[in-house]
Amino acid sequence: MSHDTFQATVDTLIENFARFDYYPTPLVDVAVLIAQADGQIDPSELEMLRDVISLVFGARMRASLVATLVNVSIEVTEAAGIEGRLRLIAAILHDCESIEEGVRFAALVAHGSKGLGAPEKAMVARLGAACMLSSEEVARIIAHVQATVPPEPLSSKHSIPPGV
């Protein structure tokens, strides 16, 4: 994935979350929902989550901490239900004036993992619907990501030093 595009999207989201006094943890949930869209998180997706979470929090995360964050996200989503979790994420994105950036983030995570397959597109669409975006708006965001961002793994351009 184009690291610059992804980093710019993350930076905008982090700035907006901070401006409205939110922590960026909903971005972890979005990344986990995308990784889990096909029903499981495989080792390459777990490494992608480590890269994404490291960028969101600005420090290289230990694998054990990433596993904990991913498991907590899964547990919270199971308790609330996917639609309930998506509605909460959408409300936070709305509060932070970041709806389009949040949906772009989801599309970029999917595109930079294994590509935007049917399950990932469906999850991005579900997030977009929870954000009250039309299906056309979501399709435009997805098409823009696919047309302008080379599908390379985030980890190939990782800027966080791998010291841990």
- Tell me if 96 sits within 8 A of 22, measured CB to CB: yes
The structure tokens 């791998």 sit at: 162
Angstrom CA distances, 84 to 1, 20, 30, 78, 100, stand at 29, 22, 13, 10, 19
Residue 123 sits at φ, ψ, to 5 deg, of -70, -40
pLDDT digits (tens, 9 = 90+) for 150-161: 766 555 444 443
pLDDT at 1 over 50: no
Q: What is the pLDDT of residue 163?
A: 39
Residue 106 pLDDT: 95
pLDDT of residue 152: 62
Alpha-carbon distance 161 to 164, whole Å?
8
Mean predicted confidence (pLDDT) in 91-105: 97
**Which among 39, 23, 17, 9 is positioned nearest to 111, based on CA atoms?**
9
pLDDT at 155: 52
Which residues fall within 8 angstroms of residue 126, CB to CB, at 6 or more apart? 82, 83, 86
Across 51-65, 91-105, 111-125, which has the greatest mean pLDDT?
Answer: 91-105
pLDDT of 148 > 90? The answer is no
Mean pLDDT of 30-46: 90
d(CA 70, CA 56): 14
**So what's the pLDDT on residue 161?**
38
Whole-angstrom distance, CA of residue 72 vs CA of residue 159: 26
pLDDT over 50 (residue 77): yes
Per-residue pLDDT tens digits for 99-147: 999 999 999 998 877 678 899 999 999 999 999 999 999 999 999 998 8
Cβ(154)–Cβ(10) under 8 Å? no
Average pLDDT over residues 23-43: 92
